[in-house]
Amino acid sequence: MTRGSGLAPLVSAHDDLSQVDWSALASALREEFGTVRVQLLLSAKQCRYLVLPWLSSRYTGAAIRDYVAEAFTATASVSSTSHLIEIDWPPYGEPILAAAYPRTIVDTLRDGLAAAGLGLLGVEGSIGPVLRRYGRMLDTTQALLAYAEDDGITGITVEAGKVVQIESLPCEADGLDQIAVWASRKQFAFDDDDRLCWLATASKPDAYAGRLIPVESSVVPVCAGHAVALAWQ
């Protein structure tokens, strides 16, 4: 990190995140740079995502929160105790996109920062920066954007300019989760290979059809290894 107002990567963790000493990291950060703001960027594989249809019977904020919590519990064994659940609030009638971030990581980092007199401004999965930077390059009618991180491969399906599905695959898997099998299914699901896009955070698998999107140069990583703490003054 450098002094100034720009956002910069502080640390990237590529192994067992439970072994990261966030308290020591926060103390060193405070000693060298003083008061900074910190945001946590997690790989998509570390997170859980849901895209839910809008229900006219559950349109208030409280009802939507309950709807999302129930869906996470039913489909991903995720609860508000195990994960920090956040909702990307949609316009009335639009699908609901929600993310769940593991509290074992989030709370440990927040506690470490608090001990050094710092705060955690927010948490985000890698799909956020990926869509903000590269979503404009997709066919808004229907498209799939896939990319690799250190711990897995993520596919984001967009229809009519809205995210309708988020899938996470391990880098190495058997059966239906093999990248070749998954890529073949996706190729059949789209009428044009150009709607299939691969973001060049890593080499495009041979089995994945479609076009390559180069990664734009930036100080801030577009996606995490497993986790990246970002800090700025």
219 lies in some domain: no
Query: In the prediction, which pLDDT does 221 show?
Result: 62
Sign of CA dihedral 53, 180, 192, 135: positive
pLDDT at 156 over 90: yes
Indicate the Cα dihedral angle 91, 53, 41, 8, nearest 10°. Answer: -30
Q: In the chain, where do the E strands start and end?
A: 8-13, 37-42, 48-52, 83-88, 96-102, 119-125, 142-149, 152-159, 162-169, 196-199, 211-213, 227-232
Q: Is 189 a member of any domain?
A: yes
Q: SS3 breakdown of the chain: % helix, strand, coil, rounded to 5?
A: 30, 30, 35
- Residue 214 DSSP SS3: coil
pLDDT band at 35 (very low <50, low <70, confident <90, very high): confident
Q: Decide: helix, strand or coil at residue 211.
A: strand
Tens-place pLDDT, residues 7-32: 455 555 555 666 778 888 888 888 88
User: Residues of the chain with pLDDT > 90: what percent?
Assistant: 55
Mean residue pLDDT of the chain comes to: 86
Task: Flag whether 49 is in a domain.
Answer: no
In a domain, 209, yes or no: yes
Averaged pLDDT for residues 67-80? 93
* Least confidently predicted of 75-79, 109-113, 124-128, 215-219: 215-219
Domain contains 44:
no
H/E element holding 60?
none
Look at residue 64 and tell me whether its pLDDT is greater than 80: yes
| Residue 218 belongs to some domain of the structure | no
Whether residue 18 is contained in a domain is answered as no
pLDDT in the model for residue 26: 85
pLDDT over 70 percentage in the chain: 88
Question: How far, in Å, CA of 4 to CA of 233, rounded?
Answer: 6
Give the pLDDT confidence score for residue 4 in this predicted structure: 37
Considering the domain boundaries, does residue 135 fall inside one?
A: yes
Summarize the confidence of residues 39-45 as an average pLDDT: 90
- What's the pTM value of the predicted model, to 2 decimals? 0.87
- 134: domain CATH number? 3.30.420
Per-residue pLDDT, averaged over 62-81, amounts to: 94
Q: Which domain holds residue 203?
A: 128-213
- Contact call for residues 215 and 198 (beta carbons, < 8 A): no
pLDDT in tens, 95-130: 999 999 999 889 988 999 999 999 999 999 999 999
The number of distinct structural domains making up the chain is: 1
Cβ burial of 225 (10 Å; 0-12, 13-18, 19+) is middle
